[in-house]
């Protein structure tokens, strides 16, 4: 059982500037229609959607928080760190994100080669067609596999080819957790550990990750994401209290095809949490 409820704030959202299905303007419209008043656009390793999102937010009366979701590593684990309140024009951040995109471009070639080895037609062009800067992420390959009739849906494409341990999974040389947190802080932002439950860690390993994240300069943890179990929300809230971390919430909405995720819908934050938006100078409206 999950307790998704409509929220006035959603601090984790994707557009076509990374692997989302909606353009920044269409995403903002969907978020506004859900009743959200404050949103962060947090595309993977890209800030390219922020300018058009800002324009759309101004028209619809939403407040936009500049965000990004950076792929990094801690030991063998791929971890995502969301930066909130960043300066998207910060030169060092822009340069690091450029390197991330170059890594993604190189990986796309390898993914395609691996798929061809599996007897699948060359899908690089198809996967690149809908991708930002023509650089496909794994979901773009998943969509191309579905369009080519190889897989029945995106989940099937990940399960058969793209997920960890599958033939077209490519281990990445992402930057370390400390580096990603450093980039965000240097650009004036607050570092938030994204969707901790999705790393499928034991309690002990989750504890170690959160402690390391805090020691490395992280400020907050996503305590509530869409469809998260109530027990896991409570567990993360306890960890936040223990380590003095603030709490964030976001749907991680990628577009209408994942019908079980809606913008602005996630469990509420437990009242003992210190909300991350207080660090961003944002107050909850009292109506």
The smaller minimum CB distance to Mn ion, of residues 121 and 256, is found at 256
Structure tokens at 185: 């802080």
Q: Is residue 265 a contact point for Mn ion (CB under 5 A)?
A: no
Q: Which of 19, 43, 45, 154 binds Mn ion (CB under 5 A)?
A: 19
Helix axes 230-243, 203-215, angle to 10 degrees: 40
Q: Is there a contact between 121 and 148 (Cβ–Cβ < 8 Å)?
A: yes
Q: Is residue 213 a contact point for ligand AMP (CB under 6 A)?
A: no
Site string for ligand AMP, 65-84 (x = CB under 6 A): ------x-------------
Q: Is residue 146 a contact point for ligand AMP (CB under 6 A)?
A: no
Q: Is residue 209 a contact point for ligand AMP (CB under 6 A)?
A: no
Q: Name the nearest CA neighbour of 130 among 257, 54, 43, 23.
A: 23
CA dihedral 230, 234, 236, 238 (to 10 degrees): 180
Q: Is residue 253 a contact point for ligand AMP (CB under 6 A)?
A: no
For residue 43, report the phi and psi dihedrals to the nearest 5 degrees: -70, 150
Q: Is residue 80 a contact point for Mn ion (CB under 5 A)?
A: yes
CA dihedral 55, 61, 62, 63 (to 10 degrees): 80
How far is the C-alpha of 184 from the C-alpha of 124, rounded, in Å?
31
Positions in 151-210 near Mn ion (CB under 5 A): 194
Q: Which of 9, 12, 15, 19 binds ligand AMP (CB under 6 A)?
A: 19
Kindly report the length of the chain: 287
Q: Is residue 222 a contact point for ligand AMP (CB under 6 A)?
A: no
Q: Is there a contact between 47 and 86 (Cβ–Cβ < 8 Å)?
A: yes
Site string for Mn ion, 49-78 (x = CB under 5 A): --------------------x---------
How far is the C-alpha of 239 from the C-alpha of 180, rounded, in Å?
21
Q: Is residue 43 a contact point for Mn ion (CB under 5 A)?
A: no
Site of interaction with Mn ion (CB under 5 A): 19, 69, 80, 194, 252
Site of interaction with ligand AMP (CB under 6 A): 19, 44, 71, 137-139, 154-155, 158, 163, 254
């Amino acid at each position: 059982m999950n307790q998704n409820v409509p929220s006035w704030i959603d601090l984790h959202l994707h557009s076509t500037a990374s692997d989302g299905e909606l353009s920044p303007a269409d995403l903002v419209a969907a978020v506004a229609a859900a009743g959200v008043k404050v949103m962060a656009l947090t595309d993977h390793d890209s800030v390219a959607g922020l300018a058009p999102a800002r324009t759309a937010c101004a028209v619809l009366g939403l407040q936009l928080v500049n965000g990004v979701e950076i792929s990094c590593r801690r030991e063998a684990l791929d971890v995502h760190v969301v930066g909130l309140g960043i300066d998207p024009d910060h030169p060092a951040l822009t340069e690091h994100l450029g390197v991330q995109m170059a890594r993604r471009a190189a990986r796309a070639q390898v993914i395609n080669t691996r798929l061809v080895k599996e007897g699948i037609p060359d899908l690089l062009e198809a996967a690149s067609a809908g991708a930002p800067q023509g650089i496909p992420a794994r979901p773009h390959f998943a969509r191309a596999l579905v369009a080519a009739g190889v897989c029945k849906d995106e989940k099937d494409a990940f399960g058969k080819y793209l997920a960890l341990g599958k033939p077209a999974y490519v281990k990445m040389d992402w930057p370390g957790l400390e580096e990603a947190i450093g980039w965000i802080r240097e650009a004036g932002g607050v570092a938030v550990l994204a969707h901790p439950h999705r790393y499928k860690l034991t309690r002990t390993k989750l504890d170690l990750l959160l402690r390391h994240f805090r020691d490395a300069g992280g400020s907050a943890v996503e305590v509530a994401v869409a469809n998260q179990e109530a027990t896991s929300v409570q567990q993360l809230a306890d960890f936040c209290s223990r380590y003095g971390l603030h709490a964030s919430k976001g749907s991680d909405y990628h577009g209408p095809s994942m019908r079980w995720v809606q913008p602005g819908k996630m469990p509420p934050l437990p009242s003992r949490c210190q909300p991350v938006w207080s660090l961003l100078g944002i107050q909850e409206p009292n109506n």
